[in-house]
Amino acid sequence: MEPRIPSSRVTFGKSLAHHGTFAGTPAQGEDNVWLAVETFVAVLNRDWSLGLLRAQDVSGSPNEYPGVDACAVFRNGRYLSLQVVRAMPSNFYQEQAHAGLAQSTGGLDDAATYLRRAIERKTSRAASPSITLLIDGTAAPQLALFAPTVFVEQHGAWASALDWESIWVVGPSSANRLDLEVGEVCLPHAWIA
């Protein structure tokens, strides 16, 4: 049997509520990490001209890189350590894996809640002021397109008090920082110094 390639179709209503159909087999284990990491590096280079070089998989070196899935190298040799987490509830991925199809419907508050829960889940196990947390929304655009603004309004101050270098949601072609208070600058100071 051929593997089912994941695909998603999400529509947004006038209130920006979403309805999505997610088909195929979801990425298993760490398979989702590379798409999120590569998209994040590409977006930072496109939007901020950071000059990040290609990311390296360091997940197989937990003693040398504890809590880190990948490292992206700045041109000056500094490393950007990255940890990736998915945001949708685990039963969503289980349903998609078992039935080959999952549905998601909700408003912006629901999407912001999924983002917060993903951060809470990962923070309890791996937070570090030297690691940037990426929430993988590459196959779940409802998390990355409109929800970041609502998240920052509702939870940005909470997220900025956590022990991460920064927290981002990565969409199909976007990256939005979440650990901000309304009106703050986007990039961590250490990245532009």
DSSP secondary structure string for all residues of 71-126:
EEE-TTS-EEEEEEEE-S-HHHHHHHHHHSEEEEEE-HHHHHHHHHHHHHHHHHHH
Residue 1 inside a domain? The answer is no
Residue 190 inside a domain? The answer is no
Residue 41 inside a domain? The answer is yes
Residue 189 inside a domain? The answer is no
Closest C-alpha to 40, from 150, 157, 143, 177: 177
Closest C-alpha to 80, from 47, 103, 58, 107: 58
Confidence of residue 4 (pLDDT cuts 50, 70, 90): very low
Residue 187 inside a domain? The answer is no
Residue 191 inside a domain? The answer is no
Residue 185 inside a domain? The answer is no
Give the residue numbers spanning the domain of 165: 7-180
Q: How many domains does the chain have?
A: 1
- Write the pLDDT tens digit of every residue in 94-153: 666 666 666 666 778 988 998 999 999 999 888 899 999 999 988 777 788 888 999 999
Residue 188 inside a domain? The answer is no
| Angle subtended at Cα 165 by Cα 159 and Cα 166, rounded to the nearest 5 degrees | 50
Q: Which residue has the higher pLDDT, 42 or 185?
A: 42
